[in-house]
Amino acid sequence: MKIFPAIDIKDKKCVRLVKGDFNNKTEYEISPVEQAGKYKEHGFKNLHIIDLDGALIGEIVNLNIIQEIVGKYNLKVEIGGGIRNIDGIKKYIDAGVEKVILGSAAIKDKNFLKEACDKFPNKIALGLDARAGYLSVSGWKENSNQLTLDYLKEVNEYGVSRLIYTDINRDGMKQSPNFDETLKVAEISNCPVIISGGVSSIDDIKKAKSLNNIEGIIVGKAIYDGDIKLEELVKEDA
C-alpha cells in the first residue's frame, strides 16, 4: 500500500487545517520544498499536495513550488486545489506530476471530468470530499446537494485512474479515518481508492492495509505534530 505524506500550501507555507476550516489552521516553519525534501530523504516515493490558495480562489497559484519539488526530488506527486480547466491540468502534467486531482470543478461539471479523463488518460484523480454523506466543493466552503455514492455511480465509467475520499469531519482531527464510508466508496469504485482524513497512528495504516480496493493512505497532521514518526511510517510504504 502506498503512503502519501501530505503538504498543504497556503501563503507559500506548509499548513494544516482542522475540518477544512481556514480560520482554524496551524502554520509550520518548514517550507513546502524543504518538507518534500524531508519526505524524500526518509525514502517515501509518493506525495500528496494541495494548493489551498488555489482551492480558495479557483485557479492555480503555486505552480512554481510544485515545479521545484518535482524537479528536485523525483517524487510521484498528486496535486489538487484550484484546477478548473483543461489548461490548468496541462500545466501540472507538463510540470511532471503523476496525477492531477479534480474536485469542485468535476463535481459541478461532470462533462469536464469526462473530457479530462479522455484527454489525459491515467493522469486524473477524482477528489471526493464528503460531510455526512454529501459532497463539499470550493475549498470545502460549499456543501453540494449531491450524495457521494450517487455521484460516483454517475461518473464511474469515465476513466478516472484514482479516487481520493476524504471525510471532512475527520480531517485534521486525528480521530482515525472514516473506514466505513471509505469502504462503501471502494466497493463501488471502478478505480483504486486513497483514504484521507483523520489518520492518527500506525494502527490506522495497518487497518487500511487489510481493506480491498485501497491503493493508499494520506497522512498529514499526525506527521507534523509528531504522533507518527517518519521512520515508522516509511516501513509501511510499499
Report residue 173 as a C-alpha cell. 482531527
Crossing angle (nearest 10°) for helices 148-155 and 179-188: 20
DSSP E strand boundaries for 52-170: 76-80, 99-102, 124-131, 134-137, 142-147, 162-167
Calpha distance 107→147 (Å, rounded):
11
Task: Check: CB of residue 66 under 8 Å from CB of residue 49.
Answer: yes
Of 51, 53, 129, 237, which is the active-site residue? 129
**Is 53 among the catalytic positions?**
no
Residue type, 45: K
Residue type, 196: S
Calpha distance 237→219 (Å, rounded):
12
Task: Check: CB of residue 47 under 8 Å from CB of residue 77.
Answer: yes
For CA atoms 26, 32, 36, 38, the dihedral sign is negative
Calpha distance 170→142 (Å, rounded):
17
Report residue 187 as a C-alpha cell. 466497493
Active site residues: 8, 129
